[in-house]
Amino acid sequence: MSFDPNFAAKMGALILELRQVGVTDAKVLSTIERTPRDMFLPKPFKPRAFENVALPIGHHQTVSQPGVVGLMTQELELTERHKVLEIGTGSGYQAIILAQLCRRLYTIERHPELLKLAQMRFDCMKLTNITAIAGDGAGGWPEQAPFERILVAAAAADVPPVLFNQLAVGGIMVVPVGLDEEDQRLVKVTRTADGAETRDLGPTRFVPLVDSLVSTSR
Ligand code: SAH
Ligand 1 center–CA 9 separation, angstroms: 30
Domain ranges of the chain: 7-216
What is residue 108's predicted lDDT score, i.e. its pLDDT?
98
The minimum-distance atom of ligand 1 relative to the CA of 212 is 22
Q: Is the CB of 63 under 6 A from ligand 1?
A: yes
pLDDT confidence of residue 32: 98
**pLDDT tens series, the chain, 218 aa:** 677 888 999 999 999 999 999 999 999 999 999 999 999 999 999 999 999 999 999 999 999 999 999 999 999 999 999 999 999 999 999 999 999 999 999 999 999 999 999 999 999 999 999 999 999 999 999 999 999 999 999 999 999 999 999 999 999 999 999 988 889 999 999 999 999 999 999 999 999 999 865 443 32
Q: Which fold has domain 7-216?
A: Rossmann fold (3.40.50)
pTM over 0.85: yes
64 belongs to the catalytic site: yes
Closest of 84, 149, 75, 136 to residue 108, by C-alpha: 136
Cα 40 to Cα 84, 92, 119, distances in angstroms: 21, 7, 11
